[in-house]
Amino acid sequence: MNTINETNFQFPNQKSVYIGKVREVYNIDEQLLVMVATDRLSAFDVVLPRQIPFKGQILNQIATKMMNDTVDIVPNWLLANPDENVAVGHLCDPFKVEMVIRGYVSGHAAREYKLGKRILCGVTMAEGLKENDKFPSPIITPSTKAANGDHDEDISREAILSQGIVSEEDYIILENYTKALFQRGTEIAAKRGLILVDTKYEFGKTKEGKIVLIDEIHTPDSSRYFYAEGYQERQNTGEIQKQLSKEFVRQWLIENDFQGKEGQQIPEMTEEKVIEISNRYIELYEQITGENFIKAPTQNILNRIEENVLKFLTSK
């Protein structure tokens, strides 16, 4: 199957291109951003060598649906989706922090907790918790926004303010938006038999100074989901939680002695593993949206994207 590893478009009035771990973002005349979701897969802040069929389409379409489902509580950057892999929106000045919010002791929080740490990003975690237990209330654990290939780093609210990364006035808005989005995401997930365990949000400012949600939201790359059915029973018996997220990729890498650390070798990803991961992404799409996933044509995938974006831009 054809996948998108990289793009090299030249759109009218194009000013620059930003290459992220997964997305490639085209600046159009300092007014619009054309965000192309590739099929690249990253874990532990490393881009893996194999692409995952339909992953970009899945991420883009979940993020679009979730932005539409939350725009009544938090404004966002999105204007249109001219292609299954593309989102177009307002050019924003991004905040250099990611707002991570956690409802459960899972993933990074669980790994830190097992090391005996009880403070994460300046937030105290209670004693006596075990992996995948629910926190008494969700905690916000920000991270710095890393450049290409660099690791995001935990940072506290106090450090963000003292270093002037975000003003206190703006940070209060980011916190409130983060809590509101997580609450809405939790409600949406519950309707689909899922638990939204943790997620991250990114925000930016429009040219008019308005704070808006940018990038992706509630996707398997940015979020962790458990199946609600049987959650408590699994916790009671110490079983592994059944989940839909990118964590299964991280666990596979850990089992194969890779956590993105210097000197570690990325394990070989077989064709079977690639298809398995693609199917897991499709499963999450259908579970979280309640809709059947319709695969976009991939025969000439880059031509398709270019034609659809050009059609949109020339109609503006």
Query: 206-229, pLDDT tens digit by residue?
Result: 999 999 999 889 988 889 999 999
Residue range(s) occupied by CATH 3.30.470.20 in the chain = 96-206+214-245
Per-residue model confidence as pLDDT tens digits over 147-162: 544 567 999 999 999 9
SS3 content of the chain, % helix, strand, coil (to 5): 30, 25, 40
Distance CA 270, CA 311 (A): 37
- 168 CB contacts (<8 Å, ≥6 apart)? 161
Task: Write down the mean pLDDT value for the chain.
Answer: 93
Burial class of residue 199, CB neighbours in 10 A (0-12, 13-18, 19+): buried
Per-residue model confidence as pLDDT tens digits over 74-98: 999 999 999 999 999 999 999 999 9
Residue 120 has what pLDDT?
97
pLDDT-derived band of residue 316, with 50, 70 and 90 as boundaries?
A: confident
Angle at which helix 271-289 crosses helix 247-255, to 10 degrees, equals 150
Percentage of residues in the chain having pLDDT higher than 90: 83
- Cα–chain center distance at 217: 6
Tell me if the domain spanning 96-206+214-245 has CATH number 3.30.470.20. yes
Percentage of residues in the chain having pLDDT higher than 70: 98
Lowest mean pLDDT among 68-82, 168-182, 246-260: 246-260
Q: Average pLDDT for residues 110-135, to the nearest whole number?
A: 96
Distance CA 108, CA 43 (A): 12
pLDDT exceeds cutoff 90 at 303 = yes
Q: In what order do the strands lie in the sheet with 14-19?
A: 14-19, 23-28, 32-37, 86-90, 78-83
Residue range(s) occupied by CATH 3.30.200.20 in the chain = 14-93+270-315
Please tell me the CATH code under which domain 14-93+270-315 is placed. 3.30.200.20
Distance CA 173, CA 140 (A): 13
Beta bridge partners of 98: 143
Per-residue model confidence as pLDDT tens digits over 189-206: 999 999 999 999 999 999
pTM of the model: 0.88
Distance CA 110, CA 129 (A): 9
3-class secondary-structure state, position 269: coil
